[in-house]
Copies of this chain bind each other. A is one copy, B any other.
Amino acid sequence: SRSIDLAVIPGDGIGQEVVAQGLKVLSAVLPEDVKLETKEYDFGAKRYHATGETLTDADLDALKQHDAILLGAIGDPSVPSGVLERGFLLKLRFAFDHHVNLRPSKLLPGVATPLAGQPEIDFIVVREGTEGPYTGNGGTIRKGTPHEVATEVSVNTAFGVERVVRDAFARAQARPRKKLALIHKNNVLAFAGHLWTNIFNKVAEEYPDVTTEYMHVDAATIYLVTQPERFDVIVTDNLFGDIITDLAAAVSGGIGVAASGNINPSREFPSMFEPVHGSAPDIAGQGKADPSATVLSVALLLRHLGYEAEAARIEEAVSTDLAERVGKPARSTDEIGDALAVRVAG
């Protein structure tokens, strides 16, 4: 008999509320023969204030035992900027080698976009997750003086770039349009740019049926608002991916519906799935948060674990639910979760 052993990290703010709905929908969608086990972890601001800890080695050992991780949101204004981001979120990505940060953008029927003319948007971004300017390399000298110098080092390796480029080509080949765009800034960042472009072009030779293009990151932001329909799969570096996936989420319905996976394709470590949005302390505890992004992250989680039919059922349910919202009064976080659970079970 099959089983899923899930680590659950509700985290801060609306994280608690949306994760509850994610689990509700997950329980509802799974066939009877699949045993679901969950263990909750208390990472986030409260634990940090109580213990000073963000993520210890013992925590990592515990998390490592699970099949996958579902996370709500981490972050609170009471904690200095960067402490939880680097001490928890990035530490986990690096420790579990989450090198494929997968972020789909699909404008679903009935969903509002800030763009005029309701364009067709359906692409995925494969963002590198363990290199680039995110490595924490760099430093400061003469801190706080008029002669302070601070550096940030973007580290890019052939190993790290090639594995994520290969992942993106495979994903592009599996999609009907079979298009892949590399986004970088190779005319200015020539060292990293050469490495990315060179490996991209080399791997492209093995995928003659995939249509490729290269685009500078600045130009990409223009296309994302003027011609988002041109994108199918995008592969890019950690920082550029951070920036363009927020823009992509904004144009394709907002972060209320943007899901993401921090994936270790080798399955050496559990992958982690989370909504793109943050902990939104301003609306926390009020039942106002849209759990759709978390529920869609559960779909990515299921697909990663091999439950393709269940993943598709969740995506279908969210899509229908969003379409049926138009013109109706707003529902609570819990009500949306209930509706989705009923839908996926049916």
A→B interface (CB under 8 Å): 81-82, 85-86, 90, 113-117, 133-134, 136-140, 142-159, 162, 185-195, 198, 217-219, 221-222, 224-226, 239, 242-247, 249-251, 254-255
Contacts and interface: CB of A to CB of B under 8 A. Distances in A.
Contacts of A245: 218
A150 B116 contact: no
9 contacts: A82-B188, A114-B226, A115-B115, A147-B159, A150-B195, A151-B192, A188-B239, A222-B250, A225-B250
Counted per complex, copies of this chain come to 2
A191 B85 contact: no
B159 A151 contact: no
A144 B224 CA distance: 32
Given A217-B243, A243-B218, A246-B222, A191 B152 contact: yes
Contact of A113 (B116, B138, B157, B187): B116
B152 A82 contact: no
Contacts of A247: 218, 221-222, 224-225, 247
B154 A152 contact: yes
A152 B222 contact: no
A157 B149 contact: yes
A59 to B, nearest CB: 21
Contact of A225 (B137, B225, B255): B225
Contact of A139 (B191, B218, B244): B191
A185 B238 CA distance: 13
Contacts of A246: 218-219, 221-222
Contacts of A219: 246
Contacts of A114: 115-116, 225-226
A23 B206 CA distance: 51
A113 B148 CA distance: 42
